[in-house]
Amino acid sequence: MHEDNLVSPSELGEYVYCKRAWWLRRIVRIPLTTVHREAFSTGNQWHQEHFEALPVQHSVSALRLWTGWAALALAALLAFLWWTR
């Protein structure tokens, strides 16, 4: 498998946070120059302000946390079942 096909955990986080930013960095391969850093910074600020304006922001954060723990528990269960077969 070619190394370009691998996606790091931080890239997954970036994709979940903003698919457009991930696409610009990974697919279009826009270098992160000073000009682009300012644009990314502005985009990050917009996302943060938008999220804070949502009335359900705490519910979303809690849901993400519980979904993560549920996925981890499911992975552990599947690994246990696989190892004990």
Full-model pTM? 0.39
Task: Judge if 33 and 66 occupy the same domain.
Answer: no
Query: Which tens digit of pLDDT belongs to each residue from 27-58?
Result: 888 776 766 777 778 888 888 887 777 776 66
Task: Judge if 44 and 25 occupy the same domain.
Answer: yes
Instruction: Quickly list H helices, the chain.
Output: 9-17, 19-26, 34-53, 57-83
Task: Judge if 43 and 3 occupy the same domain.
Answer: yes
What residue numbers bound the domain in which 80 lies? 57-85
Q: Give me the mean pLDDT over the 54-64 stretch.
A: 71
- The span from the CA of 60 to the CA of 55, in Å, is 10
